[in-house]
Amino acid sequence: MGTYYKGTTREVNSLNVYIKLLRAADSIRSRINKLIIEKGLTESQFNMLDALFHLGPLSQRELGKKLFKSGGNITMIVDNLEKRNFVKRGRNKNDRRSFTIHLTKQGNNLIEKSFPEILSALVDEIYILNVDEQFEFQRICKLLGLHNAG
């Protein structure tokens, strides 16, 4: 379903692209989030554990940039993961005001077990598109994402 707005062709097409993009993303996200929730995590917690698992220890500022989250939001996610012993904070040796976030053994085990199942579900979602369509979709999303990014 598209927009009911009666404007110019450019306006209607723009609204329809936006609506369909968000609905597709929300639909996939909803199905993937069910798996993440089954692991006892929020989407943001899973994304942080995933980043630390694949990239290694990162500062809170680096995590914020990677996850598109504010400093306050990153602090809350780290606090909640730290309470559950999935991550630990360590003072940054070069800047004592900054903390580096590390996975604990328990956090590493959780993401190591959870990631393959969630990835498999994501692959099932995306492979409705053939490989050429996937590359074209990536190209279009990047074009949209970088437009006016300054």
pLDDT tens-digit series, residues 17-59? 999 999 999 999 999 999 999 999 999 999 999 999 999 999 9
Compute CA distances 58 → 78, 102, 146, whole Å.
12, 7, 25
pLDDT tens digits, 86-105: 999 988 777 777 789 999 99
For residue 1, is pLDDT > 90? Answer: no
Instruction: Give the residue-averaged pLDDT of 60-72.
Output: 91
pLDDT at 8 over 90: yes
C-alpha to C-alpha distance for 51 and 22, rounded to whole angstroms: 24
The pLDDT of residue 150 is 62
Supply the pLDDT for residue 91: 83
Q: Quick one: 94 exposed, middle or buried, by C-beta within 10 A (0-12, 13-18, 19+)?
A: exposed
CA distances from 15 to 94, 137, 143, 145, 148 (A): 47, 18, 17, 16, 18
| CB-facing half-sphere around the CA of 92: CA atoms within 13 A | 14
* 75: nearest Cα among 57, 65, 86, 61: 61
* pLDDT over 70, % of the chain: 99
Fold of 9-145: Arc Repressor Mutant, subunit A (1.10.10)
d(CA 19, CA 16) in angstroms, rounded, equals 5
Give the alpha-carbon dihedral of 113, 118, 120, 121, to 10 degrees.
150
Where exactly are the structural domains of the chain? 9-145
**Predicted local confidence at residue 125, as pLDDT:** 95
Q: Is the pLDDT of residue 139 over 90?
A: yes
- Once rounded to an integer, what is the mean pLDDT over residues 66-76? 91
